[in-house]
Chain A
């Protein structure tokens, strides 16, 4: 395990806003994610969680500093290294499914595009994924006709269809009903431990969240995005030893006084 390069490594990174590439959202990020780790990154709204995740996925370049994925600097990434970048997948907060396609078509799109498959050729693989994520009853529906709970699940299926090694989820529990929240926690945990449908290999996980408590686990790692800074906290036990009242608030529930 130790010989493997870090899945994600940021050095002195400045994260810019998606809407304005010259506007820094988070500065001085030094962060290393080893393969198989599970990170929960807490941050309030407008703290730059989505921008941070877009950057970690290699979709957005850093405004300053360097980003490495699997030991390779993303500045070297071109068409030839695309397969490397696609080992990191991203689940967007609102699903961001394409409105003119059904859920099944949305999920099949990356698979069909990357492997040049016709719609019929991708069916078996997509059906298996739909079954696994309990999406089969909604497969033929357009996103506008499906509730947010299922849209987010379809976005997860779309991210998993290329069998990534690192999964980045942007605020996955936000706006979900209790049953779906529980399903997400369990399913992401199974992926982290190594899901048999994805080869049984542990998947590296990063979730952003507005509450750290639901992700509490002794082996998981935590960090905060606050005031334009990134604060790695370590494990739950290490974070609990912090004297910072803001950290204590995050560990006990939804932070309020430090907004």
Chain B
């Protein structure tokens, strides 16, 4: 029940910590922030495990209600964002890839194009930019919707009707955002690489499309595909959990929704970067 959930998520009175007087030094400030972040991370970990447990345990519950909700979330998080991602891919291609191709051609280093593109676009910019856009477009909406629902007592309504709020509200969002994160990253990478070549072509860079594709293919290893799938799924899941956790997991009042949204967005920016950093370390170690 709610109280038990709250105890799992907020084991220490966090409001007390937030209400302390001004920190006396920078280390004091940093310590408090890290402590609060640690508590939040612990709560989010518990929330993620509960969500995974509910996904597994209730996969056959109310399928006729849940499937349309999951489809709706995939449409909202993924399909509805395609035009924006098309534009972003075009922009990324022209601004970054096109300039890189042109610069490499000027210094006669066009042979490094494939590996540069793979490092910049496939491994880093593609997933991270997708994560930030997904957070901005869908994640913030999630926090506000769920926070408002929580503040308006809709979670209590669901519980009173025998509907598991995690199953009904969180699971479709997590599936939608995780799926969308993977699919949109692939679209963004493909779009950016294509529009990047178009930009290079317009600048008369002496590189044929077959050579361009061949360089990209040579620079890509099977590990890049594996890591791309793992990274995008993990980052999508993490963003969904962060935004849903802040919106739903703790009792909040209507006036607290904006504060909670800011907190969720801050963590939604930082944690995917940390996850990305972990993947870089793993990549370098393999």
Task: Tell me the A residues contacting B by CB distance below 8 Å.
Answer: 16, 18-22, 54, 57, 59-61, 63, 82-83, 85-86, 89-90, 92, 94, 96, 98, 109-110, 112-114, 116-118, 121, 158, 162
* Interface membership of chain B positions 130-174, coded 1 if the CB is closer than 8 angstroms to chain A and 0 otherwise: 000000000000000000000011101101111100001000000
Name which of B60-68, B108-116, B227-235 contacts chain A. B60-68
**Cβ-based interface call for B24 (8 A):** no
User: Which residues of chain A are near B159, meaning CB under 8 Å?
Assistant: 59
A19 to chain B, nearest CB (A): 5
* B163 pairs with A109, CB closer than 8 A: yes
User: Which residues of chain A are near B65, meaning CB under 8 Å?
Assistant: 109, 112-113, 116
Task: Tell me the B residues contacting A by CB distance below 8 Å.
Answer: 1-4, 6, 13, 61-65, 152-154, 156-157, 159-163, 168, 251-253
Question: How far, in angstroms, from A15 to B62 measured CA to CA in the complex?
Answer: 32
User: Which residues of chain B are near A61, meaning CB under 8 Å?
Assistant: 1-4
User: Which residues of chain B are near A57, meaning CB under 8 Å?
Assistant: 160
* A19 pairs with B160, CB closer than 8 A: no
The answer, among B1, B163, B253, for a CB contact under 8 Å with A60, is: B1
* B6 pairs with A21, CB closer than 8 A: yes
A-B contact pairs, 19 of them (CB 8 A): A18-B153, A19-B251, A19-B253, A20-B251, A21-B3, A21-B251, A22-B13, A60-B1, A61-B4, A86-B162, A96-B156, A98-B154, A109-B163, A112-B62, A113-B163, A114-B62, A116-B65, A121-B64, A158-B161
B199 to chain A, nearest CB (A): 42
* A92 pairs with B62, CB closer than 8 A: no
Residue of A nearest to B251 (CB): A19
Question: How far, in angstroms, from A95 to B86 measured CA to CA in the complex?
Answer: 42
User: Which residues of chain B are near A21, meaning CB under 8 Å?
Assistant: 2-3, 6, 251
B93 to chain A, nearest CB (A): 37
> A114 with B1: in contact, given A19-B251, A59-B156, A98-B154 (CB under 8 Å)?
no
The answer, among B63, B64, B163, for a CB contact under 8 Å with A110, is: B163
Question: How far, in angstroms, from A110 to B163 measured CA to CA in the complex?
Answer: 7
Residue of A nearest to B156 (CB): A59
Question: How far, in angstroms, from A210 to B6 measured CA to CA in the complex?
Answer: 31
* B62 pairs with A96, CB closer than 8 A: no
* A96 pairs with B168, CB closer than 8 A: no
User: Which residues of chain A are near B62, meaning CB under 8 Å?
Assistant: 112-114, 116
Question: How far, in angstroms, from A259 to B168 measured CA to CA in the complex?
Answer: 41
* B162 pairs with A82, CB closer than 8 A: yes
The answer, among A86, A92, A117, for a CB contact under 8 Å with B157, is: A92
* B168 pairs with A113, CB closer than 8 A: yes
* A96 pairs with B157, CB closer than 8 A: yes
User: Which residues of chain B are near A158, meaning CB under 8 Å?
Assistant: 161
* B162 pairs with A116, CB closer than 8 A: no
User: Which residues of chain B are near A18, meaning CB under 8 Å?
Assistant: 153, 156, 251
User: Which residues of chain B are near A96, meaning CB under 8 Å?
Assistant: 152-154, 156-157
> A109 with B161: in contact, given A18-B156, A118-B64 (CB under 8 Å)?
yes
